[in-house]
Structure 1
């Protein structure tokens, strides 16, 4: 997988996580992500991190893929850390003019960056271990009660999956444009940072053109398969709950309750 983006990719390794029902992954992911909001103590962060590392190991996906996928987020993570470090009130340990670094700011910066990394890895595990169509089918089944209220759940689930899948597609198109420019002797990576930022502006036009073209091709493919609104369509593969699915969801609930207990007890 050459694309550095985690979310939107799929890697087949025949692990237990791959074989789980997509509904199990979605429910467990939602429960565990919700529990990450409660993280407030060092022990809770360590427990959550160990659990995420364990899941990554079970997926059998090379760790280098996750590491490479976090590289594009370095700027966002640095900005989050620096912003909290400089603009959080508390015990000042360094100051220069109106800039102040506080102990509370350092703690908040580390916690938020840590939390973002865990959330991104969890979201990546979902897409790395679930095929787009299977994920869409699982979403559709989970939202089935909303269909009774005339909510277009089939279109909604397909729209979400296509949006997720388009993330690496957009970056692939951007890389093609950059390679085409490099082949013509214009390498953006050799420019200084301010010039490099300005050099990306003219690229937006061909990039948007290619994205619209890809969207049109996708729309034609959907129409050619007579997908329509997706209402009443059947699936070749029927989803069925297995014992392992119940076990995984119970584990996710127990972990979430454990993290909540750790934060309540301030451990």
Structure 2
């Protein structure tokens, strides 16, 4: 499935690593399966163990520098912290700590830690997928292995490329705001107003870029058939082995938690 101007894997787009050699559709399916399963796990221990195992596997499988993984964790860590604080302060139960109107409950902390660990788990799996998956290979694999249409796969490629470029766009917009503040005699961007301005600018830039991408794809015959695949992305034995290992580890951790009597499901949400 190739269109004018689109070639196979871009040279240097993704660093070579054991995880980068695996089929993108298989990796995406595993990410979705694990995320779906842990949605029904609400004890703190199980997702925490899975997160530590996933973090070690992503670090070894992508060969990413520790600083890269740490920086990529930032948004997930902030969201996990927010989830923990909200649940600790809002859920009824046995009081663990209280100061005036603020009250932390044991049940709130347990649910909050479980949801926070689940957030970090899904986050580190997403980080591993992004660091090890080339956009063109993902598009080709989804068309060839998952049997998705050309319009869907090209749309995924466009969104994937924009997602990869967002950190650079964010840095550029933040620097532009800082320069403008210096030229106007200010003391540099500070506070929520600056953050809201950067977010709004990034949204506008992304919408305009998406519109240009759509026009470019339509002008190049998006949706015309039949199409051929220049560089097929195959599902190999190593891909099946990866799936077996990931699902096997997931099943073992769940079974171990159940045997220890710590595994909890959605029932933990009700007092």
Structure-1-length-normalised TM-score:
0.78
Quote the residue 1:218 is aligned against. 213
Q: Name whichever of 96-105 and 38-47 sits farther off.
A: 38-47
Quote the residue 2:248 is aligned against. 254
**Once the two structures are superposed, what CA deviation does each residue of 1:196-253 show, in whole Å capped at 9, x if it has no partner?**
2223455566545533442243234324543x21543222111222221111111122
Quote the residue 2:265 is aligned against. none
Quote the residue 1:156 is aligned against. 152
* Separation (CA, whole Å) in 1 of partners of 2:116 and 2:203: 31
User: Cα offset for 1:46?
Assistant: 4.8
User: Cα offset for 1:24?
Assistant: 2.0
Quote the residue 1:3 is aligned against. none
**Once the two structures are superposed, what CA deviation does each residue of 1:19-77 show, in whole Å capped at 9, x if it has no partner?**
11112212222232233234445553354134213322122111211111122344422
User: Cα offset for 1:128?
Assistant: 1.0
1:44 pairs with 40, 43, 46, which one?
Answer: 46
Quote the residue 2:228 is aligned against. 234
Quote the residue 1:178 is aligned against. 174
Closer/same/farther in 2, CA of residues 78 and 11 from structure 1, 3 Å limit: farther
Q: What SS does the corresponding residue of 2:37 show, helix, strand or coil? A: helix
Query: Which residues in structure 2 correspond to 1:76-155 (within 5 Å)?
Result: 76-144=79-147, 153-155=149-151
* Separation (CA, whole Å) in 1 of partners of 2:218 and 2:197: 33
**Once the two structures are superposed, what CA deviation does each residue of 1:113-157 show, in whole Å capped at 9, x if it has no partner?**
11101101101111210101111222233442xx6xxxxx32223
Q: What SS does the corresponding residue of 2:36 show, helix, strand or coil? A: helix
User: Cα offset for 1:189?
Assistant: 8.2
Q: What SS does the corresponding residue of 1:19 show, helix, strand or coil? A: coil
Query: Which residues in structure 2 correspond to 1:183-222 (within 5 Å)?
Result: 183-184=179-180, 185=182, 190=188, 192=190, 196-202=191-197, 206-222=201-217
* Separation (CA, whole Å) in 2 of partners of 1:102 and 1:59: 39
**Aligned alpha-carbon RMSD (Å):** 2.9
In structure 1, stretches of 5+ residues that fail to align are 1-9, 148-152
Closer/same/farther in 2, CA of residues 258 and 114 from structure 1, 3 Å limit: same
User: Cα offset for 1:18?
Assistant: 0.8
**Aligned residues between the structures:** 247
Closer/same/farther in 2, CA of residues 255 and 189 from structure 1, 3 Å limit: farther
